[in-house]
Structure formats: C-alpha cells, structure tokens
A and B are shown apart, each in its own frame.
Chain A
C-alpha cells in the first residue's frame, strides 16, 4: 500500500517526479516545481487528498537548489498522509500558488513568502503576514543573522 501511492504518482507523472522515499513511515515525493499544480490537483481530484494540512519551506543554504517547498497532504477518506516537496532555486524563487485548489493555502503561502521570500504565482494577495511592512529581509533564511537590527520605520501620525 505504501509504495502503491508513490508508484501511482510516479507512473502518472514520470517526468515530474525526481525522487520518492519513505522515512519513518512518512511518504515523500520530490517533484519539479513546474508540476506542482498538476500533481496537487491530481492528488485532490483522483486520490482523495482533501486536506492541505501544511505548507512550508526549508532553506538548505549553501546547497543549490537552495529552498525546498514542503506540502503535507492528508486524505480523510483513506486516512493517509503524503509529503510533497519541490526544490526551488534561489535565482528563480517562484512557485505556483495552491490557493485556487485549497483556500487554506492563502495564509500558509503568505507566511512562506514572509519568512523565506519565495513568491507564489497566482496568489490573490501576497503580502507579509507575521512581519510588518518595511521589514527588511526574510527571517527564516539561513543567512539572516540571529541578532540583526531592523531599520526604524517612520513614525505614524
């Protein structure tokens, strides 16, 4: 059953899947970021993954591709979890938005944009969410210094 799910994705998207593995029971498929929307809608429509539980990213500086977008899907019908990862290069840090498929992706993507500076194409309202307007840099990037000072923002009247 385990490999069945990953096998299905691999046969359906032979060009998009870079790697599949299972570690400690967590099944993971690494796919090209260009195929993310296609794979995600296939997961939702055909395989019953109705929940986008989490969407986040990780910074693997100094590796290239530097970033990785990490999505956790959950299927309430089959009681199943799947992790989907997309490598993202730092010179082209743009990924397609999943907001058309899951409304919940809206805030998750805003947080990834805020924390990592990855942009989402087709996102309805890509603004910072935890940080304020005028914050410089993206705090969860590995090259963001732990004790960096921020410039003062203009006093509001």
Chain B
C-alpha cells in the first residue's frame, strides 16, 4: 500500500498491525449488495470480519438546520424524506409533536385516519425491507411479489394523499384532505393482494433451507447489548424485549385496537425477519379494525389559528382571510417550551424533540432516527461473522439513509 493511499484511511485505523495476514477491505459507499449508501471499512482474516468501521453521512441534507428556518407546516414535506418508505409515520410523528407542544388534540376521525395511514406505511416499510433483503440474498422472485404488494399500498396511499412516496399528508392540527369515498373497498382489495403475495413469499422464504441458513444465527445481538445500544423496533423485539411505543405509551387511538406484538428470542436476522412478517399481519388487523370503527366528522381542528380555513371561508369573510394570511406567512405559533414525542416507526422509536421560542419557526427540531442506533451497532453485529453475512445483517437493520443522516 502506497503512502498516498494510507492518508485516506480514518485516523484511528491502525495499519501497522496488518502483517499477520489480515486484509483491509472497503465495502461501499456504493455497493450492489447493500441498499443505501454507507461505507464499511473491514479488517478481515480470511473470510471472517475481525474489525470494522462504519462510515455514514453520504446522504446528509441538513434536515434539522433547514427546519429551523421554515415555518412548522413547511417542515411537513421534509419529514416525508426522512424515512421514504414509510412517509406517513414521519408525517404523523411530526404533527403529533407540534400538537403536543401546542396542547391541542385533533378530531377523532383525524386520529383514526392517521393510524390507518401509519399502519399502511409500516407494512410498506416491512415489505421493502424483507423484499430487498431476500433479493440481496438472491431470492429475486420474492422481491417482485413483495414490491407488487407494496405498489398496491402505495396506490392506496396515493388515492388519499395524492402522492405515492412523498405524500405530506398531515398538517399541524389535521390532514390535507379526508379519505376518498371508496377507500374502504380499495383497502380491502389491496390487502387481498398483500395477503396473497405475502403468503406466497412466506412459503418461499420462511422454511427455505438457503434463506434460513443465511439468516439464522447471523448478525446476532444479545438482549443486554441491544438495550445498551438503544435498539428499538423489530431489532429490539427480535431479542425478546416486547417493547413497542404503540403499546407502551399509546398515542392517537392505538389503545382501542386489538393487536399483538410479535417477539423473537434469538436476536438474529431470522428472528428479525419473523418479527417483521408477523407485524405486517398485525398492521393489517389494525387497519381493518380502524376502518370498521372509523367515525364521521371533521378531520381538522376547528381553530383557524391552527389550520388553514377552507377556501370558501377565505374568500367569503375577513376573519378567515386574515387567518389564512397569518398562517401562511407566520405559521402556527406554539407557546415557548419543549416536547419529545415518540411514535413507533417501521424500524423502531421515531422521536421528535422540538424546542419552541414562541415564533412560527422551530428553534430546534431534532429527529431521533431509529436506524441510527441500529447502524451504530452494525460493527458489533458483523464482528466475527462472514463477509457474506454483512449483507443479510445490513438488510435486516433496514438502514434508510434519509432517516439515518437526515
């Protein structure tokens, strides 16, 4: 290795100890078997990973800095781009955080719709994770099955929000629009596709010798380590900790539904896969219950200091016109204070910490991305394993660059 190459390596990288047959290997930032842009610098002994350094930051767009300079409602489209396979959960989490800060509650119909859209997002998130993971382990058919199922759900979300991947569906105090009239029938139709494709994939993957061997006992993490690494979501539940924000501290109307929390026991990739498979079914159960219970009524908070008045009102009376102007230019103004609101994202606890100084822009907006903690432990999870197992571990961590680096 020449001198000039040496200076490229991180400062803590100890090149001097490599004479014993170990090899430095660079995986990424753009690697065909890994979704997302992340660089893993590996020290390998034969095919075993001795040490690794995970380098992130390739998708940093300054989400938090940007949000400090726009009004509260203008942040909503940015939240879509955090976890872009489950955008509704980000929308909902952000709106809930601002509403908590303002001390308001949205109408019950709005809360139900938010639950429905969040759960649809959770399904798309898990479908993408499992599909991509299977594809990277060369089960390509499954990818198409699951992505077709995801497409059905994207269309469903599109029919409600007007956007497949970047819906920006929530507003502080409500939603952009109500569900379309045929949403219930369309949802039943879409779930039929999801159930069919999921059961086909389940038959092809779950008891498949190759798939099982690639996932079982790889990327193992113990319960204690997972807690110490701030794991949440399916990765934590795969170790046997039944922690789910929806059950532990129910937000919206999650306490009105009957659903289970699938947990694993082994803390390996296979358990993570099983937990995700189980959660898809539970999410569909929640959506079906929510659609059955869905109450009538308005979807927006009645106060025009919170949400834009309807257009007829704006053009019809001066108060609504003023409220429209003030909201558009100055934004909603929560009182001074700070809140932390956690929701259960596809990968785990998605937290929004907002500090308000009483103006229309957040003074500080922090996102607690669930996969940040998971990727932080990647180094430990792949240590001692084969190079090939990095792909399955990384796939089951389900790193989403937009959310990881914001």
**A binding-site residues for B, Cβ under 8 Å:** 23-24, 26, 28, 50-54, 56, 58-59, 70, 72, 76, 79, 81, 83, 102-104, 106-108, 111, 115, 125, 127-132, 139-140, 144, 146, 156-157
Contacts and interface: CB of A to CB of B under 8 A. Distances in A.
Nearest to B349: A53
Contacts of B225: 103
8 contacts: A24-B339, A54-B230, A103-B225, A103-B376, A104-B229, A107-B372, A107-B373, A108-B372
Contacts of B351: 53-54, 72
A52 B230 contact: yes
Nearest to B380: A103
Nearest to B11: A127
Nearest to B225: A103
Interface residues of B, number: 48
A24 B406 CA distance: 27
Given A24-B101, A103-B225, A104-B228, A140 B340 contact: no
A130 B101 contact: no
B364 A59 contact: yes
A146 B62 CA distance: 10
B405 interface: yes
B241 A76 contact: yes
A111 B230 CA distance: 15
B227 interface: yes
Given A23-B338, A53-B342, A83-B340, A103 B228 contact: yes
Interface string B365-379: 010100011011100
A47 to B, nearest CB: 15
Contacts of A24: 100-101, 103, 337, 339
Given A24-B100, A58-B355, A129-B56, A157 B11 contact: no
Contacts of B211: none
A104 B380 CA distance: 12
Interface string B95-125: 0000011010000000000000000000000
A107 B349 CA distance: 16
A26 B342 contact: no
